[in-house]
Homo-oligomer: A and B are copies of this chain.
Amino acid sequence: MPTVKLVDENTTDPRIKAVFDDIKATKKIAHIPNIWRALASHPEHLELCWTRLKAIMKPGKLDLLTKEIIALAVSATNGCDYCINSHTAATQKLGLDNEGLGEVLAVVGLYNAMNRLADAYQVEPDILPEPR
Contact = CB atoms under 8 A, between A and B. Distances in A.
Contacts of A42: 98-99, 101-103, 105-106
B107 A71 contact: yes
A interface secondary structure, majority: helix
Contact of A125 (B78, B85, B111): B85
B99 A132 contact: no
25 contacts: A2-B122, A2-B124, A3-B85, A4-B131, A39-B121, A42-B105, A45-B102, A45-B103, A49-B113, A56-B103, A67-B107, A70-B70, A70-B104, A74-B108, A74-B111, A74-B115, A75-B111, A76-B119, A78-B115, A79-B80, A80-B116, A82-B118, A87-B111, A89-B129, A108-B116
Interface of A: 1-6, 31, 33-35, 38-39, 41-42, 44-45, 48-49, 52-53, 55-57, 60-62, 66-67, 69-89, 92, 96-126, 128-129, 131-132
